[in-house]
Structure 1
Amino acid sequence: MIRKRLFHSLLGLLLAATMLAGCSMGVEPPAENESPPPKAGAEGGTLVVARMSDATNLDPHFISTINAASVVHQKVYEGLVKRDANMVIAPQLALSWRQVNDLVWEFKLRQGVFFHDGTPFDAAAVKKTLDRVMDPKTASPRAAMFDKIKEVKIIDPYTVQFLLEKPFAPLLSILASHEGSIISPKAIDEYGRELSAHPVGTGPFLFRSWEPGRQIVLDKNPHYWGDQPKLDRVVFRVVADDTKRIALVENGEAHVAESIPVQDIERLSASNRLRVYRSEALGTEFIGFNVAAGPLRDLRVRQAISSAIETGAIIKGVYNNVGTQANSPLGPKVFGYSPSVKSYPYDLNKARELLAKAGYPNGFSIRMLTYDRNDRVMVAQVIRSQLKGIGIDARLEVVSYADFVTQIEKTRTHEIFVSGWGNATGDADYNQYNLFHTQGGGAGNSFQYSNPELDRLLDAGRVETDPAKRLAIYAKAQELELRDALLVPIRNLENLAVISTDIQGFSI
């Protein structure tokens, strides 16, 4: 009889990661012309993770999705710091750190660590990595995350300082994210822009191979500086079809399937071969308003629409009660979230009254944009039906994700949009500044909202070092965003996965 195996993991769905150290799994079915590995006991073997889509890039300075980051972050690559299971910043490649003053952060580095290619980890490697992402010639889409750093200064081989242009409180949260991964300086020189195909970090797993559209394979790092992983190999296998992905776990060809349709939860929960894993995620979903478009320029119109949408019905009818009622653009696990802010309550009479006062007693026609993801389309259809109750004809337009991003970030032709926002760092600044700041938000400010009071708060949140004061700042910011009806929060996201009953200790 095969013993139960332990699996400690963080599998990323939108900006988390998979920490496979301390795991032991079952066995991958043999590939063609490959002999089957021995059956795993408490240790060894191959973990097979079936996922909906492939990564697009494995270079931390060019990764733009959590789907890609979750393959290498905390597996192949590590940062100076990390977030622990309670979302608290903890040491990793840096043993300790301190703020010398508001503009200088100093990190004492771990000694005796080597990259997978044998290059020693030291202060020079940290500087090489950060200089690369900040260099305009690199043209990294993540460079803006580090734009407050003026210089990375080597104090001695295992001490490095970050000299800032101005105080920046979210620094540690960014260093703990995939953007903060430290890369082998030898690999940077050798591979350049081809680094995506040759990831080289310090983590518990070595990159072995990537067959685009099929699978990515990681092997155990026998020389890892920390606790040795108990897995020999991890395979991220791409299986786009929901039914086939789940079937792989049911028939023992895979151990984890992510993600899964919410409609199948009851059926899957009844299986004796697998179990459904659920946990609170960091992101939120919402209905956004372009406040510079047509009738939406009028606050009363936005308030009316907000009052006419019953988000509870959406969570139950579309998401099968997966996720919780959102009250803010931030999820409850994100630093800066305020439980006290409130969106407009569902009230059709109030909605009709507000529309009449705004000069639209008979309603109007408006365009509602989303992209071709089944649940988003279903949400938009429910909203369209609900808005008919106050005389608004929301004409639904479904486009590809690429076209959706182009419209809300570049052409700005959208009016109402159904969207969401993950959080890669666990800090409010990541959402708030990108989504709502007049200047800093740039393309991300799809609401086209500008408020000097909100800008002042978001600027203050970046420089305030007292956590309690930062929380108060972001509470006020969320109150402003909800007061001005920039969006209708729908739900806080929930992670879903199907895992083999042989797996224990699994977490996202």
Structure 2
Amino acid sequence: MTTRTSRRIAAFAAVPLVFLAACSGQGPGTAAGTDLTIALAVEPVSLDPCDTQDATNAVVLRTNVTESLTRIDPETGEVVPFLAESWEQVDPSTWRFTLRQGVRFHDGTPFDAAAAAASINRVLDPELNCQNLDQFPYPLTATALDAATLQVVSESPDSILPLRISYADIGAPATPAGEKTSSPVGTGPYRFAERVQGQSVTLTRNDDYWGQAGQATSVRYVYREEPSVRAGMARTGEASIAVPVSVQDATDDDRTREYQDNRVFFLRTSTEKAPFTDPRVRRAAQQAIDKQTIVGSLMERTGTPFDQIVASTVNGHIDGFTGPAFDPAAAEQLLRAAEADGVDVRAPIDLVTRPDLFPGSDEVIQAIHQNLQSVGFTVNILSLDTDAWLQLLRSPFPPDQKATIIAISHDNISGDASFSFPKYMAGDGSNSTIRNPEIDALLAEAEQAGGAERAALYQRAAEIEYRDVNAFLPIALQSKLLMLGPGIEYQPNSLTGVELSVADIAITTG
């Protein structure tokens, strides 16, 4: 069935540019010029097109430097054409994509089916260890039938492959096949120009872009760990946009904008390390955390207490489900019962976080730490940089790693649980510590199903986890805040957390 051709998401609403030569003290992010500065919490871990699953990398690259065949419309949540103009399902395992013509990579190479096939197959090379590989639960092969037609064949039938293919960012044929690149070449409205390690990444406008290019001639991403510093840069005009900022640093005017990206803050226990090998201990950890008070007092408008690991817009969400209530007495009782059966409930545990998890996360983690300590857990807070944090998040886990509770802020902008549950709940999931055959069977069955049946299977798997396994400690449904500098207009949307499109940023008269 061929999709109806949808309009490409408008990348930029034209706004007249007025130079304010008489203004003084304006930074590079103001209306005094066409260069933008975006202040982020942390620099990208990777600039390779195949690593844009991580929002830290994606916020710089996706829809700016690199593009995919399809894209999610931030307003409707539907899959819409991007570098592919249309597609059709030939049989349960085969899809054909008709590609956009006249597109060139930043190095001048034409974009065609052969280039798209090479880039998609590169993502799926297990030896390259691309982060985006997590979004493809089974092997598939992309083949150019002719210059404008790409065929993708999956090992198993996949009813959502056009959605899944939106996670395969297309790099130029010159991208090394067997190693990661630090100089991405894509088809987007901005070209990669320079990276100063630990300081900045600079992009420049692609004036040969196939679509509507942005207003800014360049954009520079800088990294400031402290939310108050980022917010201060936006207030003074040193930054065009500061993202994210904390509630405490938010302004009361429209310069601070709030947005949601289906992001949930939860904790994952290491179920194969004592004391978390015992489900009673995992349930005790859940009941020890007073998330109503913690979220209400520390996260305020950026969080709502939550009992699941996916938002209500995702088909794996269980309507009406309520998790265990805060009950420290019950938590202590569970620990005593486990200890009586020989479980070392006093074994040391690392509560693993990272400074850029979200603004104010340090205070939230400290409150969770106090809750856990108060019922009898022995917990140490371990704050790591993003790269070290990822090593504890993803398998294979370090052999000498002790029991951990790792703090995770996970988004699912797709609306389909296949982008969350397999990697966090399946026995072979990249981020999973769960080994439950019943959950594995349900997830495998869900991958072959569609519509209401698919949703029901994901919900059954989630219910087993939430009621019986308890590997996760859900805390909050998150919102984020960003701050605009003087003379800057940008309206965040449901994709802003992973796709902050520079072409959507307007430079106004202020």
> Which is worse superposed, 147-156 or 363-372?
363-372
Correspondence for 1:504: 489
Q: Residue 454 of structure 1: which of 421, 439, 443 is its match?
A: 439
Query: Over the residues paired in the alignment, what is the CA RMSD in angstroms?
Result: 3.4
Q: Residue 53 of structure 1: which of 37, 42, 60 is its match?
A: 42
For the residues of structure 2 that align with 1:37 and 1:358, how far apart are their CA atoms?
59
Residue 462 of structure 2 corresponds to residue 483 of structure 1:
no
For the residues of structure 2 that align with 1:477 and 1:371, how far apart are their CA atoms?
26
> What percentage of residue pairs aligned between the two structures are identical?
27
Residue 313 of structure 2 corresponds to residue 313 of structure 1:
no
What displacement does 1:395 show?
2.5
Q: What are the residue-to-residue correspondences of 1:348-367 with 2, within 5 Å?
A: 348-355=328-335, 357-358=337-338, 364-367=345-348
CA contact (8 A) 1:115 1:200 kept: yes
What displacement does 1:104 show?
0.4
CA contact (8 A) 2:231 2:249 kept: no
Distance 1:397-1:137 versus aligned 2 partners, 3 A rule: closer
1:343-382 Cα shifts (integer Å, max 9, x gaps): 1122344445544554559995243323453555533432
Equivalent position amino acid for 1:498 in 2: M
Correspondence for 1:202: 187
Distance 1:494-1:54 versus aligned 2 partners, 3 A rule: same
Distance 1:244-1:299 versus aligned 2 partners, 3 A rule: closer
What displacement does 1:415 show?
3.0
Residue 298 of structure 2 corresponds to residue 338 of structure 1:
no
Correspondence for 2:378: 394
1:445-464 Cα shifts (integer Å, max 9, x gaps): 1xx32211111111122221
For the residues of structure 1 that align with 2:73 and 2:381, how far apart are their CA atoms?
41
For the residues of structure 2 that align with 1:150 and 1:371, how far apart are their CA atoms?
35
CA contact (8 A) 2:245 2:480 kept: no
Distance 1:453-1:28 versus aligned 2 partners, 3 A rule: farther
For the residues of structure 1 that align with 2:118 and 2:188, how far apart are their CA atoms?
18
Equivalent position amino acid for 1:493 in 2: Q
For the residues of structure 1 that align with 2:475 and 2:441, how far apart are their CA atoms?
27
SS in structure 1 of the partner of residue 50 of structure 2? coil
Q: Give structure 1 stretches of 5+ with no counterpart.
A: 1-17, 31-35
Q: Give structure 2 stretches of 5+ with no counterpart.
A: 1-8, 22-26, 497-510
Q: Residue 349 of structure 2: which of 341, 350, 368 is its match?
A: 368
Correspondence for 1:473: 457
Equivalent position amino acid for 1:232 in 2: T
Residue 411 of structure 2 corresponds to residue 423 of structure 1:
yes
1:185-204 Cα shifts (integer Å, max 9, x gaps): 2x326x9747422x222212
Number of residues of Structure 1 aligned to a counterpart in Structure 2:
468
CA contact (8 A) 1:220 1:233 kept: yes
Distance 1:350-1:98 versus aligned 2 partners, 3 A rule: same
SS in structure 2 of the partner of residue 281 of structure 1? coil
Correspondence for 2:423: 434
What displacement does 1:310 show?
1.4
Distance 1:238-1:384 versus aligned 2 partners, 3 A rule: closer
What displacement does 1:93 show?
0.9
For the residues of structure 1 that align with 2:336 and 2:226, how far apart are their CA atoms?
47
Correspondence for 1:83: 72
Equivalent position amino acid for 1:444 in 2: N
SS in structure 2 of the partner of residue 422 of structure 1? strand
Equivalent position amino acid for 2:399 in 1: T
Q: Residue 58 of structure 2: which of 33, 48, 69 is its match?
A: 69
What displacement does 1:217 show?
2.3
For the residues of structure 2 that align with 1:378 and 1:424, how far apart are their CA atoms?
25
Correspondence for 1:248: 233
Correspondence for 1:132: 122
What displacement does 1:429 show?
1.6
> Which is worse superposed, 476-485 or 396-405?
396-405
SS in structure 2 of the partner of residue 411 of structure 1? coil
Correspondence for 2:273: 293
Distance 1:382-1:407 versus aligned 2 partners, 3 A rule: same
For the residues of structure 2 that align with 1:333 and 1:308, how far apart are their CA atoms?
28
SS in structure 2 of the partner of residue 453 of structure 1? helix
Correspondence for 1:236: 221
Q: Residue 102 of structure 1: which of 92, 100, 107 is its match?
A: 92
SS in structure 1 of the partner of residue 193 of structure 2? strand
> TM-score, structure 2 length as denominator?
0.81
For the residues of structure 2 that align with 1:450 and 1:118, how far apart are their CA atoms?
48
What displacement does 1:483 show?
0.4
What displacement does 1:233 show?
2.4
Equivalent position amino acid for 2:491 in 1: F
> TM-score, structure 1 length as denominator?
0.81
Residue 226 of structure 2 corresponds to residue 226 of structure 1:
no
1:301-334 Cα shifts (integer Å, max 9, x gaps): 3333322321111112332342222221113344
What displacement does 1:277 show?
1.7
CA contact (8 A) 2:265 2:407 kept: yes
